[in-house]
Copies of this chain bind each other. A is one copy, B any other.
């Protein structure tokens, strides 16, 4: 039904869902030139300036935004737990969850289109959406409230990995909201607006803020660098494989039509000891050149790594224990969509590893098990947070996220 796959935002061009999924960056957002021009001093505007603050992504659609849409420069992951009376009935708990999802859906549609939420005390901070996306996921206990029959088998704590040093502060929550935007002021306002509107229904468990390269500083689609200086995300599924990897298809099933899963791990990176590693050892550990991201067996970033390549002495060009070698999808169906963000938190730093895939057990877990067994990079990286969420299907205008998944 193409009619439900487009969103109409007053004053903007329509954004087709197909454009969001497979189109170029230019097609992925709706540029609403002059959208908020009334709040800007006319004399400061240069006619030739192409401003991206008014770019919007459609909220309504078959799938939620913020998954296969291009990753904006900043993300704020907001983990929430529902406020529930001890011993509350299933019906009462379901009611709280429904209210949370209704509020989130209404607020997301408003904020993503550049409007404040209802009774917003600072709606001016919403007028520069800059590709704001708001994406909602549920932990196991929340899907159980929604409908125990719908809990997918993979929606549980990940297997215990030997490399993990998980801190309780970054653990599982009942609800997860991923906010992304190219503007930090917008992002902060949006997150606070959601927290305020949910205040009587949910408490904040943690917030993880991350960054990539700024919008417009590099060509759209440039692979971001993590804080080790490495290109991060090169091996993401290409357009033809993205749909299946994230939303299911031949051999992979999504937990709900239009839904997917998110594995969110906080991976601390020891920048101090990594600084002591020289360039050859860095490249050897990764299996790629830090300089341009090319696999050691190839010439260009997007060349496929050749794990069988041997050097003149007969040694593997890409070490069997390198990160590339261990993380490379062994089966086509293993491919996951990495959409991570760098974080700096006082003297600690690392990567907010965010991966979307149709089935956590069939895609993420086998890769992570190989990395756990052996990955040269493990010497400098430590997973300190871990959570798994079922990402809800998108919703149509007039509805709310998760509506069709409630029983009756």
- Chain A contacts to B: CB under 8 angstroms: 24-26, 39-41, 44-46, 49-53, 73-74, 121-122, 124-125, 128, 130, 182-185, 188-189, 192, 196, 209, 211-225, 227-229, 271, 274-275, 277, 279, 282, 290-292, 300-302, 342, 344, 349
Contact among B51, B213, B225 for A218, CB-based, below 8 A: B51
Main SS class of interface, A: loop
Question: CB-nearest residue of chain B relative to A49?
Answer: B219
Q: Is the CB of B40 within 8 A of A229?
A: no
Contact among B46, B209, B214, B223 for A130, CB-based, below 8 A: B214
Q: Is the CB of A228 within 8 A of B53?
A: no
Question: CB-nearest residue of chain B relative to A229?
Answer: B122
Question: CB-nearest residue of chain B relative to A25?
Answer: B46
Question: CB-nearest residue of chain B relative to A349?
Answer: B188
Q: Is the CB of B182 within 8 A of A40?
A: no
Q: Which 4 A-B pairs have the closest CB atoms?
A: A122-B229, A53-B217, A44-B221, A45-B219
Contact among B39, B51, B217, B271 for A217, CB-based, below 8 A: B51
Candidate in A26, A130, A222, A342 with the most chain B CB atoms within 10 angstroms: A222
For the A-B complex with A185-B225, A209-B344 known, give 14 more contacts whose Cβ atoms are closer than 8 Å: A24-B46, A41-B222, A49-B216, A50-B216, A52-B214, A53-B218, A74-B184, A122-B225, A122-B290, A124-B291, A182-B217, A185-B212, A192-B271, A214-B215
Chain B residues in 8 Å Cβ range of A128: 213, 217-218
Chain B residues in 8 Å Cβ range of A196: 275
Q: Is the CB of A40 within 8 A of B219?
A: yes
Contact among B182, B188, B220 for A214, CB-based, below 8 A: B182
Using known A-B contacts A124-B291, A128-B213, A225-B125, determine if residue A219 contacts B184 with beta carbons closer than 8 Å. Answer: no
Chain B residues in 8 Å Cβ range of A192: 271
Q: Is the CB of A216 within 8 A of B219?
A: no
**Smallest CB–CB gap between A301 and chain B, Å?**
6
**Smallest CB–CB gap between A11 and chain B, Å?**
17
- 6 A-B pairs with CB atoms under 8 Å apart are A40-B219, A44-B220, A51-B219, A73-B184, A130-B217, A183-B213
**Smallest CB–CB gap between A73 and chain B, Å?**
7
Q: Complex Cα distance A12/B299, Å? A: 28
Q: Complex Cα distance A362/B259, Å? A: 62
Using known A-B contacts A41-B301, A290-B122, determine if residue A52 contacts B216 with beta carbons closer than 8 Å. Answer: yes
Contact among B45, B121, B209, B302 for A275, CB-based, below 8 A: B121
Chain B residues in 8 Å Cβ range of A189: 229
Q: Is the CB of A290 within 8 A of B214?
A: no
Q: Complex Cα distance A218/B301, Å? A: 33
**Smallest CB–CB gap between A285 and chain B, Å?**
13
Q: Complex Cα distance A342/B291, Å? A: 34
Q: Is the CB of A50 within 8 A of B50?
A: yes
Q: Complex Cα distance A344/B76, Å? A: 12
Candidate in A45, A49, A214, A216 with the most chain B CB atoms within 10 angstroms: A214
Chain B residues in 8 Å Cβ range of A209: 344
Q: Is the CB of B53 within 8 A of A184?
A: no
Q: Is the CB of A214 within 8 A of B121?
A: no
**Smallest CB–CB gap between A236 and chain B, Å?**
13
Chain B residues in 8 Å Cβ range of A52: 214, 216-217
Chain B residues in 8 Å Cβ range of A302: 41
Chain B residues in 8 Å Cβ range of A271: 192
Q: Is the CB of B275 within 8 A of A214?
A: no
Q: Is the CB of B51 within 8 A of A216?
A: yes
Q: Complex Cα distance A344/B207, Å? A: 11
Q: Complex Cα distance A52/B73, Å? A: 14
